Copies of this chain bind each other. A is one copy, B any other.
Amino acid sequence: MSKLSEKPATAIIGSGFIGRAWAISFARAGSSVRLWDQQDGAPEKALDYISGVLDDLARNDLLNGQTPDMVLARIKPAKTLEEAVAEASHVQENTPEVLDTKIKVFQRLDAAAPPEAVLASSTSALLPSRFTEGLKGRHRCVVVHPINPPYLIPAAEVVPAPWTSAETMERTRQFLISAGHAPLVMKKELDGFIMNRMQGALLEEAFRLVADGYASVEDVDIGIRDGLALRWSFMGPFETIDLNAPGGVRDYAERYQGIYENLFPQMQRRVDWAGAVMDTIEPERRKHVPADRLQERQMWRDKRLMALAAHKKRAAKEIGN
């Protein structure tokens, strides 16, 4: 544990959007970050981007009182993967979602990283057992799946392979907490992990409501954006129902399961998201945001997300969590 209180040295493998976002999060928490990408010059490009984000974070008081330069100084490019991980105690891998790539990269990581280093993958789609089984150090391999960008969205899923050690899970959990994250520690691996399963269940019903002509795309977004997600964004769904019946969550289940029960048989039919329904959804979305303004809208999203993160920090301090 002493290692942890000393702000563990970290290595980021792959300097794309997820890798550079982790670099910001780890460096903000006081860790040194070695940034490597198989493409020459990519880490330097990432540093320019990171520097811009750090200025925005400072403006929103999201650097824990540090200056952008203090945080930026902790992030250094590495010439090779081996150099990047040489002194790391937490390695975060962010290469493309291709099984073969993950297998090869993890072989290199296991060979090059110090024996006590945790080797974490950001994969959202591959179970850790699929690319770590053959490794000597497979007990220290784990998935740490973020929602982008992790420097604004605290949740991160920690997913063990069957052979991931309890110590690896605990060290990863504590490292993430010390970096300001909110880890979801899974008890065993499962397709989609936790967040994508809940998102998938909600999306599937949303697609079905549009496909069956009950709701427009905008109706669905209003129902979440101006409705359900307001409470969910600071309580989650279980605390929401726990506070929605006088006797708490059991009282809620006993009172209201009947309302939902009849719905589930109607929710079995699949809808092909990319099929006919998309000819309704895409034009409606493009009316709101034309294709050539999607990037601009993504910048709007990131501004709103940053303002929301700042609000939640203030509200937690003033009203409590």
A201 CB-CB contact with B under 8 Å: yes
The interface stretch among A5-13, A41-49, A83-91, A230-238 is A230-238
Are A229 and B233 in contact (CB-based, < 8 A)?
yes
A234 to B311, CA, bound (A): 13
Given A248-B285, A282-B248, A319-B300, check contact A294 B233 (CB 8 Å).
no
Are B221 and A238 in contact (CB-based, < 8 A)?
yes
Are B213 and A198 in contact (CB-based, < 8 A)?
no
A225 to B196, CA, bound (A): 14
Q: Which of A179-238 contact B (CB under 8 A)?
A: 182-188, 190-192, 194-206, 209, 213-215, 217, 219-238
For this complex, into which size category does the number of interface residues on chain A fall? 35 or more
A135 CB-CB contact with B under 8 Å: no
A213 to B252, CA, bound (A): 22
Are B200 and A187 in contact (CB-based, < 8 A)?
no
Q: Is the interface of A mostly helix, strand, loop or mixed?
A: helix
A58 CB-CB contact with B under 8 Å: no
Q: Which of A108-160 contact B (CB under 8 A)?
A: 124-125, 147, 152-155, 157
Are B243 and A298 in contact (CB-based, < 8 A)?
yes
Tell me the smallest distance from the CB of A113 to a CB of chain B, in Å.
28
Question: Contacts A220-B237, A232-B233 given; 20 further ones with Cβ under 8 A?
Answer: A147-B227, A147-B228, A157-B223, A183-B222, A186-B214, A186-B215, A194-B214, A196-B263, A198-B224, A200-B263, A201-B201, A202-B202, A234-B304, A235-B301, A238-B285, A239-B285, A243-B297, A243-B301, A257-B273, A257-B274
